[in-house]
Amino acid sequence: MVLELLKYPDERIRLISGNIRLFDDSLQNIITDMIDTMKENEMSALSAMQIGIQYAVIVIKEDDLYKPYINLRIIGQSGLITETERTPYYDHISVDVPRHDKIKVFYEDEKGTAHYGDFEGDFSRIIQHQLDYNYGSTFVDRVDKETKRRIGEHLSEGLVTSSNSSCPTIFYRDYIKMAYKYLMLFVWLSFLVPLFTDNITILKNLFLFDKIALGSIVVLVITYAIYAYYEAEKLKQCTSCQTGNIMGTVAVALVHWLVLNMITFFWIS
């Protein structure tokens, strides 16, 4: 299916693409739509973000084949060369853009198999140009301030610099994590109290505090997990919203919670 290309001043061009985690039929559908769109518009390369799909998928035409590059990252670069670039997003604008002449990249194919590649010259430039879209930018962000200013003056609404739907710098789930971490700290500090007193009343109250704190911690960790998954689903464009990171954070928190339980009941009690 041919999809519509994002055009200036559509702010979605500033969205950050999320990584592909499931290499399934939905990914194949995205790739097919991208190829159809490329053929319709006679394009040699296309990023999914250029058609409003917030995933790190790039398709490049190589001879008569259309090759997808999934979750592409540049892991090495050298040399610098400046050439004129254009984009369908900013019609009738071309600008000289400096790019690295040689790059080494990591990417996955449509089946999820990992690959490494070394590219140079025009193909290296194409990859770097398309990769910009994955990070919410265009070639305009690669030029000097004066050139950028002149481009902004040429455009009817100035440069598109932000989007209300872009990835936030602070996630609300972090406040939940901060709360249970502070509670854990207080429980750890409570283990020092028996070293300085053997007053039964104080120790009983301390044991009660630790039990309440430990119960609150597990509730907060569960709340964190539920809300974090909701936030990740809501902000799919953010690469930091990946479920693997959430699962790791929850697992570490639960291990700490178990250790605190053991020390509380074998030391404080």
**pLDDT digits 0-9 by tens, 175-217:** 899 999 999 999 999 999 998 998 999 989 999 999 999 999 9
pLDDT score for 234: 65
SS3 assignment, position 84: strand
pTM for this structure? 0.62
Contacts (Cβ under 8 Å, ≥6 apart) of 102: 77, 78, 79, 118, 119, 120, 124
pLDDT score for 1: 93
- CATH class of the domain whose range is 11-154: alpha beta
pLDDT score for 162: 56
| Three-class SS of 94-163 | EEEEEECCEEEEEEECCCCCEEEEEEEHHHHHHHHHHHHHHCCCCHHHHCCHHHHHHHHHHCCCCCCCCC
Instruction: Please name the amino acid found at residue 82.
Output: T
For residue 142, which phi and psi values (nearest 5 degrees)?
-100, -5
pLDDT score for 240: 44
| Residues of the chain with confidence (pLDDT) below 50 | 163-166, 169, 237, 239-241
Alpha-carbon distance of 260 to 214, in angstroms, equals 8
